[in-house]
Amino acid sequence: MIEDNAADDETTEFNLRLYVAGQTPKSLAAIANLKKICEENLAGRYKIEVIDLVVTPQLAAGDQIVAIPTLVRRLPPPLKRMIGDLSDSEKVIVGLDLRPVGKSML
């Protein structure tokens, strides 16, 4: 599955959506962690959309959000979800296939 996954292609655009609910410490931590991980691994080819469900609760059902924060990898397919404040960056990288090109060759 990982072999034919296009995610580790250098040119792949990442479209990520992070669902949070208000400015809670967990939410803020998740936003900060995600930005950091993306900068380190996907510099220049990622897009992050932060959705605050306190403001737009109607969006929660569409992406089947239960836990907060939830990170959804909309692109590239397949759709992947990750819940938590993303403090464990290793897990995020593996779970969302964010491996930098150089590392994946080792």
Q: Which residues bind other proteins (CB under 8 A)?
A: 19, 21, 24, 26, 29-30, 33, 53-54, 57-58, 60-61, 64-70, 79-89, 91-92, 95-96
Q: How far is CA 50 from CA 5, 71, 72, in A?
A: 25, 9, 10
| Min dist. Cβ of residue 94 to other proteins (A) | 8
| Min dist. Cβ of residue 58 to other proteins (A) | 6
| Min dist. Cβ of residue 36 to other proteins (A) | 13
Cα angle 97, 18, 77; round to 5: 40
Q: Measured from the CB atom, is 11 or 68 closer to other proteins?
A: 68
30 closest CA partner among 45, 15, 42, 19: 19
